[in-house]
Every structure is written in structure tokens, then in C-alpha cells.
């Protein structure tokens, strides 16, 4: 099993990539929660609570919410 690298062992390019990926992931999650909060129950496919929990799943949760969780706006319309 390979040992984990410390932050200082990564190249500056890899550090920048990780920071950008983290910012995108956090932004997607925040945007998803803001969108979910402003929608009524009728405008969301399924339970708002379930979508809130699902959005904790890194990239998959927020992307799935935007694609399938909003009535009339996602890929399912």
C-alpha cells in the first residue's frame, strides 16, 4: 500500500489543480443548497431532505440534483 503524500510533497501544478477542484466542488454544493432552499416542495422531484443529504456526496450529489432533482428544469423534463 502506497503511503499518503503530505501537501508539501505535491508539485505546485498539482496543488493548484486540487485547489481549483475543491473550489468547484464547494461552489456546486453551495449553489445546490441555495437552489433547493428557495424552491417549494412542489418544484422538487422527491424529498427536499433526501436531496439535501444526497448533495453531501461530493460531485455526484449536486450534479444529480441539478440534472434530476428540479421539476421542469432538469434532464427529466
Domain residue ranges of the chain, discontinuous segments joined by +? 32-77
DSSP string across 18-55: HHHHHHHHHHHHHHHHHHHHHS-GGGBSS-HHHHHHHT
What's the pLDDT score for residue 75?
Answer: 53
Report whether 59 contacts 25 (CB < 8 A): yes
pLDDT in tens for each of the 77 residues of the chain? 788 889 999 999 999 999 999 999 999 999 999 999 999 999 999 999 999 999 999 899 999 999 999 987 645 54
What's the pLDDT score for residue 73?
Answer: 60
What's the pLDDT score for residue 74?
Answer: 47
Amino acid at each position: 500500500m502506497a503511503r499518503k503524500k503530505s501537501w508539501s510533497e505535491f508539485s505546485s501544478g498539482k496543488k493548484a489543480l486540487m485547489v481549483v477542484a475543491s473550489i468547484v466542488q464547494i461552489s456546486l454544493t453551495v449553489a445546490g443548497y441555495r437552489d433547493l432552499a428557495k424552491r417549494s416542495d412542489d418544484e422538487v422531484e422527491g424529498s427536499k431532505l433526501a436531496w439535501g443529504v444526497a448533495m453531501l456526496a461530493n460531485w455526484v450529489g449536486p450534479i444529480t440534483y441539478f440534472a434530476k432533482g428540479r421539476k421542469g428544469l432538469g434532464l427529466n423534463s
